[in-house]
Chain A
Amino acid sequence: DTGVSQNPRHKITKRGQNVTFRCDPISEHNRLYWYRQTLGQGPEFLTYFQNEAQLEKSRLLSDRFSAERPKGSFSTLEIQRTEQGDSAMYLCASSFSGEKNTIYFGEGSWLTVV
């Protein structure tokens, strides 16, 4: 399978704990995106990398959220001191700058904060 891979697929955590999600993009893709999706809503943009550089961050990305892509390949999204409002599906997507306009999503990581 050469699609975008995310893990874990599901995570249940207690409020106040830290969680980390990992995304492995399609191998030749240099752009990587993180989105958040809550029930009944469309995905909301969080942040975007081109290679290892984080080029854009949404105001939704509070200081408890941090994303990295240290070698321009996989990425991690960490949420510190989780709150119940962080419960959502976190979607990763990737694209290749030579393929204009199309991004490919992973299956998402569900987070439930109890």
Chain B
Amino acid sequence: GNSVTQMEGPVTLSEEAFLTINCTYTATGYPSLFWYVQYPGEGLQLLLKATKADDKGSNKGFEATYRKETTSFHLEKGSVQVSDSAVYFCALRDNYGQNFVFGPGTRLSVLP
């Protein structure tokens, strides 16, 4: 079945540091890939997405590139801020079903 694996957290960085959160997936066909962010006490918000191989999703300084050859969708940001502290979820949706499969989440803490 479909699955998503993320690097384990928590990840603790200083403000303005470079961020990478690894995500790899297993799926049949050509899924769409997503990053969602969850701030404390809130639901999930879509951060970015990519629907086909080599697409790059970007938003709020975050980027991720759909790499079919390595089945990966790593999240990056060049300079993190304290306000980026949250839990980040990688997810996929295949082209056959309607539901999303989420990874376990990676907690990011950014220190001033």
Binding site for B on A (CB under 8 A): 4, 6, 31, 33, 40-45, 48, 50, 55-56, 58, 91, 93, 100-108
Most chain B beta-carbon neighbours within 10 Å: one of A42, A100, A105 = A42
Residues of B71-105 at the interface with A, using a CB-CB cut-off of 8 Å, are 89, 91, 93, 97-105
The reply to whether B98 and A101 form a contact with Cβ atoms under 8 Å apart is: no
Given contacts A45-B100, A56-B99, A100-B51, is CB(A105)–CB(B32) below 8 Å? Answer: no
B-chain residues with CB within 8 Å of residue A56 when the two chains form the complex? 97-99
**Among all A-B residue pairs, the 10 with the closest Cβ atoms:** A42-B102, A45-B99, A105-B43, A107-B43, A105-B44, A101-B32, A108-B43, A43-B102, A42-B104, A48-B98
Q: How many residues of B contact A (CB 8 A)?
A: 24
Binding site for A on B (CB under 8 A): 4, 32, 34, 36, 41-46, 49, 51, 89, 91, 93, 97-105
What's the Cα separation between A4 and B44 when bound, in Å?
Answer: 11
The reply to whether A48 and B43 form a contact with Cβ atoms under 8 Å apart is: no
B-chain residues with CB within 8 Å of residue A108 when the two chains form the complex? 42-43
What's the Cα separation between A58 and B100 when bound, in Å?
Answer: 12
A-B contact pairs, 21 of them (CB 8 A): A4-B43, A6-B43, A41-B105, A42-B4, A42-B103, A43-B44, A43-B89, A43-B100, A43-B102, A45-B100, A45-B101, A50-B98, A91-B44, A100-B32, A100-B51, A103-B46, A105-B36, A105-B43, A105-B45, A108-B42, A108-B43
